[in-house]
Structure 1
Amino acid sequence: MQTMNQHLAQRLKALRSELGWSLDAAARATGVSKAMLGQIERGESSPTVATLWKIATGFRVSFSSFIEPAPTAKGDVLYRTADAIRQQPAGEGMQVAPLFPYEGRFGFELFELTLLPGYRRESEPHEPGVTEHVIVISGTMEVLVDGEWRRLEQGAAVRFAADRPHGYRNLGDVPAIFHNLIHYPSPQSPERP
């Protein structure tokens, strides 16, 4: 099985080639330094979730497309287990399991995300029209929406426009696990070959 860093390196190279972008052009579009992008392409760096989001947003592709290839399903049935696909990018305090990576025919990607105690991430806005749906599975977390941190406990859910600044944090002593469905507007095509 291909590691996340190998897949990310190949995906980034392929996208740059498809668009005819230099590392300089990719750095301007993503806000990630040319040096960092080069290290990622060579498999020498394990980027954080925040860096992966910047790259995905700059290239106008889905976040999950950098974690693993789109799944292959027999017919319309796809079984996935979070324990088998959970990863911890850059060893930071968030674990990511892309339960259903982005597929254009559906227009969304669904993650199981685990915030380890003390983890905090504020996200820059995604592309216009992107929405997020957060459902807390276990633990307690806070979500930053419209400039205000709101506490969410097990069973709580929120939907918000993700094309504005937003964030997640876990101020507790145990991990907080939630599902995050990210919906992309249709004419946007966040999956390039």
Structure 2
Amino acid sequence: MQTMSQHLAQRLKGLRTELGWSLDVAARETGVSKAMLGQIERGESSPTVATLWKIATGFRVSFSSFIEATPEPVRETLHRVADEIRQQPAGEGMLVAPLFPFEPVIGFELFELTLLPGYQRESEPHAPGVTEHVIVIAGEMELLVEGRWHRLGNGEAMRFAADRPHGYRNLGKQPARFHNLIHYPPS
């Protein structure tokens, strides 16, 4: 089985080749340094979630496509267990379980995300038209939308335009777990 680092390296190099982009062009489009992109392609670096988002946005592809291969179009029931697929990219304070990776025919990806106590991440805007749907399933968290932090507790949800700056944080003493459905407009 391929590790996340190996998959990420192959995916990044494959996208660059497909688009005919040099490392310089990829760095300009993603806002990630040429050196860092080279390290990722060689499997020498484990990028943070924020860096992965920058790369996905720059290449105009889904975030989940860097975590695991895009599944074949689903014609049958698909059963996934978050405990079996949960990962902690770059050892930072967010755990990621790609419950349903992006499929073009469906137009969205669904994650279970866990914010460890004290974790905060502010995200740059995603591609135009991208929306996020956050549903808290355990604990409490705060969501930065339109320049203001909103407290969300268990069972609360918020939808917002993710093509603007936004963020996530957990100021509490317990992990906060939520589902995040990210919808991409048809290209």
Q: Which deviates further from its counterpart, 22-31 or 76-85? A: 76-85
Please give the alpha-carbon distance, in whole angstroms, between the structure 1 residues aligned to 2:70 and 2:58.
Answer: 20
- State the 1:77 CA deviation: 1.4
Task: List structure 1 runs of 4+ shifted beyond 6 angstroms.
Answer: none
Corresponding letter in the other structure for 2:131: T
1:179 aligns with 2:174: no
1:112-143 deviation digits (Å, cap 9, x = unpaired): 00000000000000011000000000000000
Please give the alpha-carbon distance, in whole angstroms, between the structure 2 residues aligned to 1:51 and 1:73.
Answer: 28
> Aligned residue for 1:138?
138
> Aligned residue for 1:6?
6
Please give the alpha-carbon distance, in whole angstroms, between the structure 2 residues aligned to 1:146 and 1:74.
Answer: 35
Corresponding letter in the other structure for 1:44: E
1:18-58 deviation digits (Å, cap 9, x = unpaired): 00000000000000000000000000000000000000000
> Aligned residue for 1:85?
85
Structure 1 residue runs of 5 or longer lacking an equivalent are 189-193
Write the mapping of 1:29-108 to structure 2, written as runs, cut at 5 A.
Answer: 29-72=29-72, 75-108=75-108
Structure 2 residue runs of 5 or longer lacking an equivalent are none
Corresponding letter in the other structure for 1:85: I
Aligned residues: 187
TM-score scaled by length of structure 1: 0.95
Q: Which deviates further from its counterpart, 103-112 or 67-76? A: 67-76
- State the 1:74 CA deviation: 6.5
Aligned-residue RMSD, C-alpha:
0.9
Contact 2:46-2:90 within 8 A present in 1 as well: yes
> Aligned residue for 2:126?
126
Please give the alpha-carbon distance, in whole angstroms, between the structure 1 residues aligned to 2:181 and 2:105.
Answer: 15
Please give the alpha-carbon distance, in whole angstroms, between the structure 2 residues aligned to 1:157 and 1:175.
Answer: 17
> Aligned residue for 1:191?
none
Please give the alpha-carbon distance, in whole angstroms, between the structure 2 residues aligned to 1:176 and 1:15.
Answer: 34
Identity %: 80
- State the 1:73 CA deviation: 6.8
Please give the alpha-carbon distance, in whole angstroms, between the structure 1 residues aligned to 2:166 and 2:90.
Answer: 21
- State the 1:75 CA deviation: 2.8
> Aligned residue for 2:162?
162
Please give the alpha-carbon distance, in whole angstroms, between the structure 1 residues aligned to 2:87 and 2:15.
Answer: 23
Contact 2:100-2:110 within 8 A present in 1 as well: yes
Contact 2:73-2:103 within 8 A present in 1 as well: no
Please give the alpha-carbon distance, in whole angstroms, between the structure 2 residues aligned to 1:92 and 1:168.
Answer: 14
Structure 1 pair 8–181 and aligned structure 2 pair: CA distance change class (3 A): same
- State the 1:71 CA deviation: 2.5
- State the 1:70 CA deviation: 1.6
Structure 1 pair 25–73 and aligned structure 2 pair: CA distance change class (3 A): closer
Please give the alpha-carbon distance, in whole angstroms, between the structure 2 residues aligned to 1:71 and 1:34.
Answer: 29
